[in-house]
Amino acid sequence: MSDVPASAARSTWNASDWHDALVVEAYAETPTARTIRMRLPASAALPQLPELVAGQHIDVRLTAPDGYTAVRSYSLASAAPGGVLETTVEELDDGEVSPYLVRGLDVGDRLEIRGPIGGWFVWREEEPAPVQLIAGGSGVVPLMAMIRAHEAAAHPAPFRLLYSVRSPEMAYYRAELEELARVSPRFDLDWVYTRRAPSGWPHAPGRLDVTGLAASVQTLGTSALTFVCGATPFVEFVADALVRAGRDPARIRTERYGGADGA
Amino acid sequence: MGLFSPGFMGRRREPVPGLPPGQHLVTDFPVLSIGPTPRVSTEEWRFSITSESGLMTTWTWDEFQALPQEDVTVDIHCVTSWSKFGTGWRGVSLDTLLEGVDTGAGFAMARSYGGYTTNVPLDELRGGKAWVAHQFDGAPLAPEHGGPARLLVPSLYFWKSAKWVRSIELSTRNDPGFWEQNGYHMHGDPWREERYW
Ligand SMILES: Cc1cc2nc3c(=O)[nH]c(=O)nc-3n(C[C@H](O)[C@H](O)[C@H](O)COP(=O)(O)OP(=O)(O)OC[C@H]3O[C@@H](n4cnc5c(N)ncnc54)[C@H](O)[C@@H]3O)c2cc1C
């Protein structure tokens, strides 16, 4: 089409093309998830990775020896400059791609990636509003990029993360999140444990409910911009409950990762 | 052909006829939306088409249901790389809805309850290629999949099939809709992999 937005002309990088990325680091984030860091080959001849915006994702393509390919989307956990692409992948038992990324892939392997993609489920420094983040499981990945960007910018708007996990050891980035909640005057953290809570935790484990959600989001009030990310049923429940509680749908942004939706 | 992923075998061995490049088949029905699911009752529901000269035709739910209904079975392709074969829908063809509309426009902007927009060339809406659908698999379309009614344009990536559609505006200009302003392709043909720009 003729009317391609001007920003596309900034570099010769094309978000639709596949680019080789080298796996430079991979470590267990939880018993079932792995953090993977990739880097694009540094070469003046290759197009440069565009600036990342916190909340974006990439597509990853795997190719079998017979040429069969599989593509899945993965959010970036950091938008920091420097050319590193970081994500965390949760292994699904019957999954095609995630078991390979969590257990098969090695440092030094290459992956094909496409992107970065997304201009809506993103947080930019220009955003003055308080931000309420709500994550279920691996849905914390793009929200972590926002938290890190917010902290790196020493941004004055308050951020609050409500993070629902099955049990304490399933939480991604726990040490970093808890440290930040301790030292930063602009970041607060609420946990929800759905199957098993840490010992001494004041609430019995259970799914996030309307009361718990309301209690957490009331702190920042109705002016907050809300980002919700996780498996589809989780996002449906949270976004629906917020709208029923009178929140403006236009202030709620969602990213649905997939999973059973009953339809 | 790109590089190989050592040790990756993949699940499906047979090439699948009818699957566009870079897509994989799913049996469930993933949900992608930009925000909360709008809840629109059929009493308050309206659908309208506005021509480039500003003439508007509006249907209430009952008027829309009284139009000739078609049952179609189509394959759908999402830009996030899943495809679903043989999905069954019931709805009204855009040919029927456009019958009384006098237009020389080349482009359409679909607008939804909830604020979503997407641009589609008018050619892709005509000739038995597009519907406003209100049933999926023989049951009323669920809100998270776009109910009461959504646009169904199976020839393009599924973000063009606007959920919760409330109006179509015809225009001589091809203005970008919501995803089209956010990095996605103006046209979106899955067979040409028109995903992102
Ligand atoms: C924009 C976007 C960003 C994403 N970012 C991340 C990320 O940062 N980290 C991450 O781990 N995943 C992320 N995902 C999900 C990811 O793309 C894959 O869907 C996931 O890794 C499963 O792929 P698979 O091939 O292993 O499973 P598949 O073989 O595709 O599916 C196996 C089974 O699991 C179900 N399933 C698929 N996805 C989920 C899910 N999320 N929860 C529960 N069940 C599911 C399927 O319905 C199917 O029954 C993201 C998805 C999207 C759309």
Interval B5-27: pLDDT, tens:
888 888 766 678 899 988 888 88
As a whole number of angstroms, the distance between CA A53 and CA A126 comes to 12
Closest atom, ligand 1, to C-alpha of A257: 51
Domain(s) labelled CATH 3.40.50.80 in chain A stretch across 131-257
With an 8 Å Cβ cutoff, is B42 touching chain A? no
Structure-token pair, residue A46: 């290759």
The pLDDT tens digits along chain A (263 residues) read: 444 454 444 457 888 889 999 999 999 999 999 999 999 877 767 778 889 999 999 999 999 888 888 999 999 999 998 889 999 999 998 899 999 999 999 999 999 999 899 889 999 999 999 999 999 999 999 999 999 999 999 999 999 999 999 999 999 999 999 999 999 999 999 999 999 999 999 989 999 989 889 988 988 888 999 999 999 999 999 999 999 888 999 999 999 998 764 32
Per CB-CB distance under 8 Å, the chain A contacts of B144 are 236, 261, 263
**For the structural domain made of A6-117, what CATH number should be given?**
2.40.30.10
Interface probe with A: pick from B3, B8, B76, B84, most Cβ of A within 10 Å: B8
Is B32 a residue whose pLDDT tops 90?
no
**For the structural domain made of B44-192, what CATH number should be given?**
3.90.420.10
Please give the pLDDT value at position B145. Answer: 93
State the residue for tokens 């509006």: B58
Among the listed residues B193, B3, B12, B26, the one whose alpha carbon sits nearest the alpha carbon of residue A60: B3
Is B151 a residue whose pLDDT tops 50?
yes
Overall fold of domain A131-257? Rossmann fold (3.40.50)
Distance from CA of A198 to the nearest CA of B (A): 32
With an 8 Å Cβ cutoff, is B196 touching chain A? yes
With an 8 Å Cβ cutoff, is B14 touching chain A? no
Q: What is the pTM of this model?
A: 0.86
| Ligand 1 site, residue A255, Cβ cutoff 6 A | yes
Alpha carbon of A98 to ligand 1 centroid (Å):
7
User: Is B81–A263 a contact, with Cβ atoms under 8 angstroms apart?
Assistant: no
Residues 81-140 of B with CB under 8 A from A: 81, 114-115, 136
- Tell me what percent of the residues of chain B surpass a pLDDT of 70: 97
Buried b (16+ CB within 10 A) or exposed e, B96-111: ebbeebebebebbbbb
CB atoms within 10 A of CB B156: 25
- What's the CA angle centered on B116, arms B113 and B120, to 5 degrees? 115
Structure-token pair, residue A88: 């965390």
- Partners of residue B93 on adjacent β-strands: B131
Q: What is the ipTM for the molecules in this complex?
A: 0.74
Distance from CA of A183 to the nearest CA of B (A): 32
Q: Which of B13, B80, B115 sits opposite A250 (nearest CB)?
A: B115
How many Cβ pairs within 8 Å bridge chains A and B?
A: 136
Please give the pLDDT value at position A165. Answer: 96
Mean of the pLDDT values across residues B85-95? 97
Domain(s) labelled CATH 2.40.30.10 in chain A stretch across 6-117
Among the listed residues B173, B186, B159, the one whose alpha carbon sits nearest the alpha carbon of residue B33: B159
Residue extents of the structural domains in chain B: 44-192
As a whole number of angstroms, the distance between CA B107 and CA A150 comes to 40
